[in-house]
Amino acid sequence: MKAKLDRLLTQANIRLSDQQKQQLIDLVNLLNKWNKAYNLTSVRDPQEMLVKHILDSIVVSPYLQGESFIDVGTGPGLPGLPLAIVNPNKHFVLLDSLGKRISFIRNSIRELKLTNVTPILSRVEEYQPNEKFDGVLSRAFASLKDMTNWCHHLPKESGYFYALKGVYHMEEVQELNNKYTVQQIIPLQVPELVGERHLIILQ
């Protein structure tokens, strides 16, 4: 698995330490193990997880601005856990409303010795943080309109929404409340992934 990860990182032009690479591999192994009992992801093959979960998450890393992020509807910690591994100096709150997913994340934090992740079991509209975030992340979450409606109370005044999407649909942007502006639409290159990926940044 390490050889494959090395190859994918080289193709994506991402440089990581040996420790970070090992943490990403350990995360895949944990996900694979827990998946058998808890059905956390439809991806069954650990080699595929490297592409569809790990690389698909960390390719957005260069675009993150700020120190504090919340990953909304994180599922089994995606993209939050891989991003926390590759950005040890940024802090990530991982929010999900399903207990089994948060249990997996808590276990992963312990096993991977991550000090920059806080798991939160809550529905997003009920979660009231003490401090707002530089960035609100979501992957395969609802529409942009739903994301901004449900998460409007989470970013700082200067913060951003980062929506990780597959195919980019122009009509999703047209449905947005006019208090939100699209800052960037970035086509993402994920090595060995079939299909389109986009990062949409809103403010």
Q: What does the pLDDT read at residue 19?
A: 98
For residue 142, the model assigns a pLDDT of 76
pLDDT on residue 55: 97
CA R_g for the chain: 16
Closest C-alpha among 84, 93, 91 to residue 24: 84
Determine whether the annotation assigns residue 73 to a binding site: yes
Query: In whole numbers, what is the pLDDT of the chain averaged over residues?
Result: 96
Give per-residue pLDDT as tens, 54-109: 999 999 999 999 999 999 999 999 999 999 999 999 999 999 999 999 999 999 99
Q: Confirm whether residue 75 is marked as ligand binding.
A: no
Is 5 known to sit in a ligand binding site?
A: no
Characterize 35-71 residue by residue with b for buried, 16 or more Cβ atoms within 10 angstroms of its Cβ, and e for exposed.
Answer: beeeebbebeebeebbbbbbbbbbbbbeebeeebbbb
Whether the per-residue pLDDT at 113 is higher than 90: the answer is yes
Percent of the chain with pLDDT over 70: 100
Domains and CATH numbers, the chain: 1-202 (3.40.50.150)
- The response to whether 139 counts as a known ligand-binding position is yes
**Does residue 42 register a pLDDT over 90?**
yes
| Residue 94, marked binder | no
Question: Residue 161: pLDDT above 80?
Answer: yes
How far does CA 169 lie from the centroid of its chain? 20
**pTM of structure:** 0.97
- State residue 13's pLDDT score: 96
Q: Are 192 and 54 in contact, with CB atoms under 8 Å apart? A: no
Specify the 3-state DSSP secondary structure of 192. Answer: coil
